[in-house]
Amino acid sequence: MTERLAGHLAPEDQVPQSMEDASPTKWHLAHTTWFFDTFLLQPHLAGYTPPNPTYGYLFNSYYEAVGSRHPRQQRGLVTRPTVSEVSDYRRTIDDAIARLIESVNARQWRMIAPLIKLGIAHEEQHDELLLMDILNLFSHNALRPAFAPYRPASASQAPDIDWVHFEGGIVEIGHDGNGFAFDCEGPRHQALVQPFRLASRLVTNGEWKAFMADGAYQRPELWLSDGWATINQQHWNAPLYWEEIDGAWHAMGLPGLHPVEDAAPVCHVSYYEADAFATWSGKRLPTESEWEIAAKALPPQGNTLGSNLLRPVPAQGPGLQQMFGDVWEWTQSPYVPYPGFKPEAGAVGEYNGKFMSNQIVLRGSSCATTDNHVRSTYRNFFYPDKRWMFAGLRLAEDA
C-alpha cells in the first residue's frame, strides 16, 4: 500500500516538508522501514547488521529510549539518502524480515508476531499521514496538482438530519482483546452515559457556509478562549484549504482544486471550529463513549481508502450514516488513559501512552484511512488547533 501511494508521486514530490507537523513522503517510507529494522531485526535476527547505522538517527520519530534523532522540523533537509536509496533500504529490510520469519521456532514466533502486527499497523497509520502531508504540500503549489484523478460520488444531495436516540446507562467501551488493537483502545471498562441523541449524518459544507455567513468567525461568544485566540492569530475565516475564487468557494483536495460541494461533509476543521459550530447550532459534540455506543452495532465500513474516492462524499439513505469513513469526527473527550491502562514494556511503550495529555479524541475513520483500521474502538487524537487531517464533526444533544 505504501509503495502504491508513493507511486503517484515524482521523486521531487517526496523530499519537501511543507510545515513542522508534516513529513516528506520519503521520510514516511524510510521511518516505517526503520521501525522493522530497529524493533524486529536488530534484537531478533541472528547475525543481522543494519544497512546504515545513521538511518537510526535520521528516521527515528520520537522514541527517546532508542536514541537521539534528526529534528522533526528539519526533515525536509534530508536530501540524502535519495528516494532510490530509500527504496533499496525497504527491499533490504523486507528480505531480512522474511528471513526472520523463516528462522524462528514457535516460541520465538509468539514473541515477534505482535511486533510484526504492530509494525504493519504503524505503517498503515503512516499511509494516511502520507496522504495528509502530500495534500498540505500540494496546497502550497500554484499549479494545484492532483494526487489522483477526481472520481464522482454516487450521491449529490445530503439527507435531512434525523436525531437518533440512545438510552445510555452503564455501558462497556474499549477493545475486548480479540484481534488487533492499539494499546490505547483498552482495557475494556464500564462508563456511565446519560441518555443522548446523535445526528444521523455529518455536518456538511453547505451548513458550514451558513455558519460563516452568520459571521461566526467574528463572534467571540461562540468560541472557547483558546479557539478565539487561535483563529485571530492564524487569521482563519474558513476551513483549511478553502479559497474564494470569483465569488465562489473552492477547496484543495487530493483530487486537486474543485468547487466546494455543499452536500459533502465539511473537512479540515479544528476542534475549536467544531466546538464553535456546535455552540452556534445550539448543540454539542458527542463524547467518545457516546460515539462508541452508537457505532458498535454498525458494520465497520464506509468511504475509506479502499473506495479510491480520496475525499468526503455526501451521506446516503436513512438511519445513522457516515459513522465510518469520510472524515474523522471530533468528540469533546480529552485523550487520557482508560482505567487500568498500562503502556507496553520497552521502547514501543512510547507508541501512544506518552501523548495522553492536551489532545482531543476523534472517532470513526476518514477517506484516507486504511480499510482494516475501521473499528468502533479506534481512538485517534490530535491537538485542538490542528486542521490538516481529514477531520469534521457530527452534532449531539442531551436527550
Q: Please indicate, yes or no, whether residues 91 and 189 belong to a single structural domain of this protein.
A: no
Confidence of residue 364 (pLDDT cuts 50, 70, 90): very high
Q: Please indicate, yes or no, whether residues 171 and 127 belong to a single structural domain of this protein.
A: no
* Contact assessment for residue 147 and residue 255, using Cβ atoms and an 8 Å cutoff: yes
Instruction: Give the residue-averaged pLDDT of 316-324.
Output: 94
Count how many domains the chain has: 2
393 lies in a domain? Answer: yes
* Contact assessment for residue 138 and residue 147, using Cβ atoms and an 8 Å cutoff: yes
Question: Amino acid identity, residue 224?
Answer: L
Q: Please indicate, yes or no, whether residues 127 and 202 belong to a single structural domain of this protein.
A: no
Instruction: Give the residue-averaged pLDDT of 83-97.
Output: 98
At residue 379, the pLDDT reads 98
- What secondary structure letter does DSSP report for 371? G
Closest by CA position to 291, among listed 129, 154, 174, 135: 174
Residue at a domain's end among 103, 124, 139: 139
Confidence of residue 345 (pLDDT cuts 50, 70, 90): confident
Claim: this prediction has a pTM higher than 0.85: yes
At residue 155, the pLDDT reads 79
67 lies in a domain? Answer: yes
Q: Please indicate, yes or no, whether residues 199 and 128 belong to a single structural domain of this protein.
A: no
Instruction: Give the residue-averaged pLDDT of 50-79.
Output: 95
- What secondary structure letter does DSSP report for 264? S
Q: Which residues, 6+ apart, have CB-to-CB distance to 16 below 8 Å?
A: 24, 76, 137
At residue 353, the pLDDT reads 84
157 lies in a domain? Answer: no
Q: Please indicate, yes or no, whether residues 228 and 274 belong to a single structural domain of this protein.
A: yes
Confidence of residue 392 (pLDDT cuts 50, 70, 90): very high
At residue 177, the pLDDT reads 93
Question: Phi and psi at residue 335, in whole multiples of 5°?
Answer: -80, 100
Q: Please indicate, yes or no, whether residues 172 and 132 belong to a single structural domain of this protein.
A: no
CATH number, domain containing residue 64: 1.20.120
258 lies in a domain? Answer: yes
Q: Please indicate, yes or no, whether residues 170 and 64 belong to a single structural domain of this protein.
A: no
At residue 346, the pLDDT reads 76
CATH number, domain containing residue 254: 3.90.1580.10
CA 58 to chain centre: 23
- Three-state DSSP class for residue 19: coil
At residue 348, the pLDDT reads 79
At residue 317, the pLDDT reads 85
Would strands 196-199 and 163-166 be described as parallel, antiparallel, or unpaired? antiparallel
Domain housing 77: 2-139
150 lies in a domain? Answer: no
Residue 322 has pLDDT above 80, yes or no: yes
Summary mean pLDDT of the chain: 96
Confidence of residue 23 (pLDDT cuts 50, 70, 90): very high
Residue 4 CB neighbours (<10 A): 8
144 lies in a domain? Answer: no
Bridge partners of 381, per DSSP, are 361
Confidence of residue 344 (pLDDT cuts 50, 70, 90): confident
Q: Please indicate, yes or no, whether residues 56 and 119 belong to a single structural domain of this protein.
A: yes
- What secondary structure letter does DSSP report for 168? -
Question: Amino acid identity, residue 103?
Answer: S
* Contact assessment for residue 369 and residue 1, using Cβ atoms and an 8 Å cutoff: no
Q: Please indicate, yes or no, whether residues 181 and 87 belong to a single structural domain of this protein.
A: no
CA distances 69 to 17, 75, 328, Å, are: 17, 10, 30
Segment 183-215, tens digit of pLDDT: 999 999 999 999 999 999 999 999 999 999 999
Segment 98-130, tens digit of pLDDT: 999 999 999 999 999 999 999 999 999 999 999
364 lies in a domain? Answer: yes
Dmax (CA) for the chain in angstroms is: 67
Segment 24-57, tens digit of pLDDT: 999 999 999 999 999 999 999 999 999 999 999 9
* Contact assessment for residue 186 and residue 338, using Cβ atoms and an 8 Å cutoff: yes
Q: Please indicate, yes or no, whether residues 100 and 189 belong to a single structural domain of this protein.
A: no
Q: Please indicate, yes or no, whether residues 241 and 346 belong to a single structural domain of this protein.
A: yes
Q: Which residues, 6+ apart, have CB-to-CB distance to 360 below 8 Å?
A: 271, 330, 331, 332, 333, 334, 335, 381, 382, 383, 384
152 lies in a domain? Answer: no
Residue 156 has pLDDT above 90, yes or no: no
Closest by CA position to 77, among listed 15, 130, 13, 139: 15
At residue 337, the pLDDT reads 96
Q: Please indicate, yes or no, whether residues 108 and 231 belong to a single structural domain of this protein.
A: no
At residue 93, the pLDDT reads 98
